[in-house]
Chains A and B, each alone.
Chain A
Amino acid sequence: MKYTVALAQISPKLGTLAGNLPVHLQAIEKAIQAGADLVVFPELSLTGYLLQDLVSDIAINPYQAPILKPLLEKCRGIACIFGFVEVSSRFNYYNAAAYVADGEIKHIHRKLYLPTYGMFDEMRFFALGENLRTFHTPFGEMGLLICEDLWHPSTIFLHAQDGARAVLTISASPGRGAREEDLLQSSESWINLLKATAQFYTIYNIYVNRVGFEDGAHFPGGSMVVNPSGEIVAQGRYFEEDLVVVPLDLEEVRRARLFAPVLRDERLDLTIRELARIINKRNQS
């Protein structure tokens, strides 16, 4: 079966839901025209990334926010993943992403790993997500991750073990390192990570990174789809807005798992036993 995803590589404006909403609606319309089943936006696509003290002002309860209505309405016949700041009933703020289909929110992922080092300061402003769940789509189970989540391979491991055929990672990853390589060092790292994990877990890796600048930091884009054999099948431009439309093929998943049945052979009981032992050891030291 075929399933087509559109990677919406946009440049969100900082701190304005009203400013970013039309950008989403236009991209969804384009994706519909291109025959996509799912359109994927980058991390914090509705709000911009370096929000700092704006976090609480721009946070929404997605099930009640009137501003989301046009976006949800637009998602009929096409599904959509977008990034936003979620406020919970306990007034925790999460760096979150929602999967919308049939005009309603079907799944929310709250970022699990909040980078707080170097140029990043997320844990100061956001609460940690606590759960990792796959969700159902016409392509089968999928998993959602936000940027730094993927730098902890346990996340994609769990998604794959939970049945995901595709893992979607949305990011606002700033470009760094322009020395000798052809690409930015940071873009090179993403390619390595996405190719390796797709191959390790025989899943599709779908990656959407934003473009644009915030206070001089740039986001280089380079969104991509890596197939379950670890090959890049489509890639967005670097530094420019783009909409990349890519058909996924379930047959690719089947073939990859035939040649490398690593997923079948995974020993969860061994892993959990050893993890329990390691945790125990750490608690004793």
Chain B
Amino acid sequence: MKLNCELVAKICGSFIRDELGKAGFSRVVVGLSGGIDSAVACYLSAQALGPENVWALLLPYKTSSPESLADAQKVVDQLQVKYEVIEITGMVDGYFSAQPPANMLRRGNAMARARMIVLFDKSMEHSALVLGTSNKTELLLGYGTLYGDMASAINPIGDLYKTDIFQLARFLRIPEAILQKKPTADLWEGQSDEAELGFTYAEVDELLHELIDNRVSQEKLVERGFKDSFVQKIVRKIQGSQFKRRSPVICKMSPRTVTHDFHYLRDWGL
């Protein structure tokens, strides 16, 4: 799936300027993980707003790979955006120290949510909006933490698959080290997205593109050579994570209910 990177970068840049400007802001804060998604989001916003209007936040936990921090630092150095390093270890461990032992998934969610707390707090400090860095593959598979890394004000890359992000990253000339390494949530040592998910981004993006964008039926896709079990697994993942993509369910009482029949854009009044 080839992407017209020049066109996409231009639209993303206008998107950031327009949605930010309408809401009365000129700055963004963005959490830099050292990975490719947040690097691309940071490059797009630095180009759109100027580096002086981008606050990068590097938010390591004690088990985060030092390589991640070094790679995030490369982005900061190359773009000359403002930045701050804030350890989230104290926040996360402070909570869990008074709890019975929690598994890695809970700890990972807490890390993502601790970062969210810092990002939204810093957005207020800097009169900025939080830039989202979830891509379309993650959003569809639900591979993210609700109210954690999925939380943001505006997201320029949420309609781009992971394989689109790879292409855009090359076009934007983000540091080679980030381009080369395996995608990871870096919630524990040696974690790898593709190992954890059990398929490659190339495989799943091709399937998602056909299923979601082209609305090709599951039967047709199996006929065309996708493994039935793979198709079923992905469809289940999409359905099973729908709650992460929607507002909480509200029990309807009145003729007009906020999430049911109160139809106004977010841009209402901007």
Contacts and interface: CB of A to CB of B under 8 A. Distances in A.
Interface string A32-76: 000000000000000000101110000000000000000000000
B262 A53 contact: yes
Interface of A: 13-15, 50, 52-54, 175, 178-184, 212-216, 218, 239
Contacts of A218: 11, 14-15, 18
A186 to B, nearest CB: 12
Contacts of A175: 11
Contacts, number: 57
B222 interface: no
Contacts of A14: 265, 267-270
A239 B15 contact: no
Given A179-B2, A213-B15, 15 more contacts: A13-B270, A15-B268, A50-B267, A52-B263, A52-B264, A52-B265, A179-B3, A180-B2, A181-B4, A182-B4, A182-B7, A212-B18, A215-B265, A216-B19, A239-B11
A54 B19 contact: no
Contacts of B8: 178
Main secondary structure of the interface of A (DSSP, over half): loop
Contacts of A180: 2, 4
Contacts of B267: 14, 50, 213-215
Interface string B237-270: 0000000000000000000000000111111111
A240 to B, nearest CB: 9
B230 to A, nearest CB: 23
Given A53-B263, A212-B18, A178 B268 contact: no
B267 to A, nearest CB: 5
B18 A184 contact: no
B265 A239 contact: no
B7 A184 contact: yes
Contacts of A15: 268-269
Contacts of A215: 265-267
Contact of A50 (B19, B265, B270): B265
Contacts of A50: 265, 267
B263 A179 contact: no
19 contacts: A15-B268, A15-B269, A50-B267, A52-B263, A52-B264, A54-B264, A175-B11, A178-B3, A178-B4, A178-B11, A181-B4, A183-B7, A213-B15, A213-B19, A214-B265, A216-B15, A218-B18, A239-B10, A239-B14
Nearest to A182: B4
Interface in B227-243: none
A218 B17 CA distance: 12
A107 B22 CA distance: 34
A60 to B, nearest CB: 19
Q: Top 3 A-B pairs ranked by shortest CB distance?
A: A52-B263, A213-B18, A53-B263
Contacts of B266: 215
A53 B18 contact: no
Nearest to B263: A52
Contacts of B102: none
A182 B4 CA distance: 7
Contacts of A181: 4
Contacts of A183: 7
Most chain A CB within 10 A, of B1, B11, B15, is at B11
B25 to A, nearest CB: 14
Contacts of B10: 239
Interface string B116-135: 00000000000000000000
A183 B6 CA distance: 10
A14 B8 CA distance: 24
